[in-house]
Amino acid sequence: MGAVCGAPAVDAMEAADPGAVSGMPFRSALLDNIMLLSDSYKTSHWRQYPPNTTEVYSYFESRGGKFDEICFFGLQYFMKRYLQGQVVTAEKINAAERIVNAHMGLGEMKHFNREGWEYILQKHGGKLPIVIKAVPEGMVVPVKNVLMTVVNTDPKCFWLTNYLETLLVQVWYPMTVATQSRAQKKVIMDAMMKTGTDLKAMPNKLPAPAKLITVGFQLNDFGCRGVSSMETACIGGAAHLVNFCGSDTMPGLCMAVDYYNLPLASVQGTSVPAAEHSTITSWTKAGEKDAFKNMLTQYPEGIVAVVSDSYDIYNACDQLWGNELKDLIASRAPPTGRLVVRPDSGDPKTIVVDVLERLAKHFPVTTNAAGYKVLPPYLRVIQGDGISYESLQEILSNMAAKHWAAENVLFGSGGALLQKMDRDTQKCAFKCCEAVVDGKPRPVFKDPITDQGKKSKQGRLKLVRREGKITTLTDGQGDEKEDLLVEVFRNGQITKTWTFADVRAQSEVGLPVAIFDVTSD
């Protein structure tokens, strides 16, 4: 088979930086090579299965963790970006062989499975002979249930199933972001309803869907700069948009548009003009009022957010916003004309109430039917510092204790929303649960005596609904018609896609109110 692909072009891979030669950004072809997108030790596993193995069937689950249910999201991105179509070529085989054989071991033997990859190229046109089944994206599933299964469709490619584990397991990240974001949505909705916002009675019709606007922008993604890479921002930012509409992470919006067909016209991944400290402090301390006034006059319509703690947040609220610029703020045209004051330092649960109390001395505050105070519609506060699932609850609790309605404050979250988590947050794992050896299926599982929480499932799996609850059947039990898992990938082709609207609709099942059910009537 070596004659098919030829010898690796060793010198070509050590040529001068193509980016430096062309003057263009350099994108490494090695990082777009499916044979290299894996844990190193997996390149040796093709030799380790029992003789006459012809099938390996594996699954992905959340074994528990911070939240007791997960919102499944992100697999479609990985399939479209890395798995669909011809992903194995002669050139890529040569490149992978050179890397793997130089990387693995100390030169005593060659570990790259050239024959296996060449077989995929020759027999399958470089397309991956596997089937993936998964829960519908956006679906909320209790932990400790199967979320995805993977199996090879060619008996000679039994080794491929778990070779792809590394890449497929990375769905843990968008899934965990979507899960935590949804949990925060529940916290915000509960707080709003308890403090007098009647979400259930609000209309949700274009051009001003009240529920969508009221809830959708309560938690905004400020995480782009705080994540490990732009791809992380892309995946995590889209995961947050499953639950909310407000975001300053443009790569996340782009992912939702390109990979999940989110129409830009829906304006459901939105930001607003907002100041940062440099655009305020460059006016100097003496010019802070002029800086604030500039924000109001440069953006006379719609929402504008202004960071107000550059020097003295209390003076900003009492003197600048509450006195000298008060009339300019109050003149902003409804329904969207609004100043959002942003404190950015201090203890979050304390500073939010302090700012509300200061503003209340200068602007007309009303009391809603539940007895909670509400700022005028042209004025709100956003807290974008130190926001996490835990601090969000502390702030809203403190606001309620001081008789402030939750609707007065919006939130922005960065690192805690997109970065402060790992695969163990929801204890995500991918395990083989059945293999066919000598033509006979055998259950496969692990059951370590040192950690019963890592016991894995065995046999063919189905995700079913029994007596209103979602559960996993093992060992081939159950009727195929019951299975909630949907085939999404077969032999290089994506067989089922989800739109972002599909994902959002699934994610809102079980919430007190659906905000994405916008109508045009």
Binding-site residues for beta-nicotinamide D-ribonucleotide, please?
Answer: 248, 342-344, 384-385, 415, 423
The CB-side HSE value for 300 (13 A sphere, CA atoms) comes to: 4
Question: What are the residues facing 442 on neighbouring strands?
Answer: 435
Phi, psi torsion values for 140, nearest 5 degrees: -100, 125
Kind plus residue range of the DSSP H or E element containing 380: strand 379-383
- Nearest to 34, CA basis, from 70, 81, 104: 81
- Nearest to 200, CA basis, from 376, 190, 181: 190
Q: Are 260 and 268 in contact (CB under 8 A)?
A: no
- Nearest to 72, CA basis, from 464, 509, 474, 475: 509
Report the C-alpha gap between 128 and 492 in whole angstroms: 5
Tell me the residue length of the chain: 521
- Nearest to 348, CA basis, from 307, 293, 390: 390
* Strands lying side by side in the sheet with 303-307: 219-221, 409-413, 379-383, 338-342, 303-307
Residue whose structure tokens are 């584990």: 165
278, two tokens? 């440099």
What string of H, E and C letters represents the secondary structure of 415-475? HHHHCCCCHHHCCEEEEEEEEEECCEEEECCCCCCCCHHHCCCCCCCEEEEECCEEEEECC
Residue stretches of the annotated binding site: 225, 248, 277, 342-344, 384-385, 415, 423
Q: What is the DSSP string of 297-329?
A: HHS-SSEEEEE--SS-HHHIIIIIIIIITHHHH
Residue stretches of the annotated binding site for diphosphate: 225, 277, 342
Q: Are 314 and 356 in contact (CB under 8 A)?
A: no
- Nearest to 369, CA basis, from 133, 189, 193: 193
3-state secondary structure of 141: strand
Report the C-alpha gap between 307 and 520 in whole angstroms: 36
- Nearest to 66, CA basis, from 421, 506, 457: 421
Q: Are 138 and 503 in contact (CB under 8 A)?
A: yes
Question: What are the residues facing 274 on neighbouring strands?
Answer: 305
Non-local CB neighbours of 333 within 8 Å, separated by 6+ positions: 301
Phi, psi torsion values for 133, nearest 5 degrees: -115, 145
What string of H, E and C letters represents the secondary structure of 324-335? HCHHHHHCCCCC
Report the C-alpha gap between 100 and 82 in whole angstroms: 19
